[in-house]
Amino acid sequence: MNYRHLHYFWMVAMEGGISAAARKLGMTPQAISSQISTLEQQVGQVLFTQVGRKLELTEAGRTALHYAERIFQLGEELEHALEQGGASRSRLNVGVSDAIPKTIAQQLLAPLGAATTRLVCIDGDRDELIARLALHQLDLVLCDRAGSTTEALKLQSKLLVFAPIMLLGTAELVAQYRDGFPFNLSGAPLLLPTRNAALRAQIDVWLAENRIVPDIVGEFSDSALMAAFAQRGAGFFPSPVLAEGAATTAGLQTLGHLPGVIGHYHVIFSARKIMHPALAQLLELESQAA
């Protein structure tokens, strides 16, 4: 592949058209168009489609654009590494599902070599993050469950860690409900994940089995927002045991554990022949922990 052609393609994508890219590069539109055609012939895919007066990327074009950006970024990292005597950070693009407690994400990613890895963390909806992973825009996704679509998208999933779940609340709420826990939770204010979260199904089953009917004052797809409401005294919220230290420093206390309720936290990644070294390190660390 001629990387000059790839650069012209990238410029057309950034500028939204051949004429604009030609002006930016100081070339004729005919020359740019010819180079794009040559690249499309090389890869065997149409990269742009005409929509009105503008060019828009095809699905193959969006994939090519992502790789082009990664290639140019690696080139910059190479220059920086050589300038620094060979030392540089590799970029790891991580998607973090809203349902993952931020303390869990931090603890899972913390062991990765801080001196060699630059983390780029993007949080959002799990399905949207997996779609970006399938398009190679992310290196991995941390989420609360393995997906049924991963096989069709040629993705792999691995359970990284599981943790018992506890209820956290302000000191005032904990003092009010400590005696008689957990069977005194009927009527207690509860903040819960939305029903599409894996943890919510477990909690609903546990409440039903113990005939507990709490006052569900809020449902959240974002675990950080749920924790913020708990800090203001809105109610108790479920959190993995691994996050206990962070919760205490945030002004929350532990009411107690929910027996049999377990949080599962997975990593989903692309099945590539060449794996990002930081992802390989993460999988190796968790294998040793297991």
pTM for the model: 0.66
- Mean of the pLDDT values across residues 219-242? 91
Task: Pick 193 or 132 by higher pLDDT.
Answer: 193
C-beta neighbour count of 160 within 10 angstroms:
19
Residues 185-190: what's their mean pLDDT?
96
3-state secondary structure the chain: CCHHHHHHHHHHHHHCCHHHHHHHHCCCHHHHHHHHHHHHHHHCCCCEEEECCEEEECHHHHHHHHHHHHHHHHHHHHHHHHHCCCCCCEEEEEEEECCCCHHHHHHHHCCCCCCCEEEEEEEECHHHHHHHHHCCCCCEEEECCCCCCCCCCCEEEEEEEEEEEEEEECHHHHHHHCCCCCCCCCCCEEEEECCCCHHHHHHHHHHHHCCCCCEEEEEECCHHHHHHHHHCCCCEEEEEHHHHHHHHHCCCEEEEEEEEEEEEEEEEEECCCCCCHHHHHHHHHHHHHC
- Mean pLDDT for 167-172 is 94
Q: What value does the mean pLDDT take over residues 238-265?
A: 78
Per residue in 10-23, pLDDT (tens digit) is 888 888 889 888 88
Average pLDDT, the chain: 84
pLDDT at 193: 94
User: Quick check: 86 pLDDT over 80?
Assistant: no
* Lowest mean pLDDT segment, chosen from 72-76, 181-185, 232-236: 72-76
Residues 6+ apart with CB under 8 A from 152: none
Across residues 75-93, what is the average pLDDT?
Answer: 64
For residue 231, pLDDT beyond 60: yes
What is the percent of the chain with per-residue pLDDT over 90, rounded to a whole number? Answer: 37
Mean pLDDT of 132-159: 79
Q: What is the pLDDT of residue 203?
A: 96
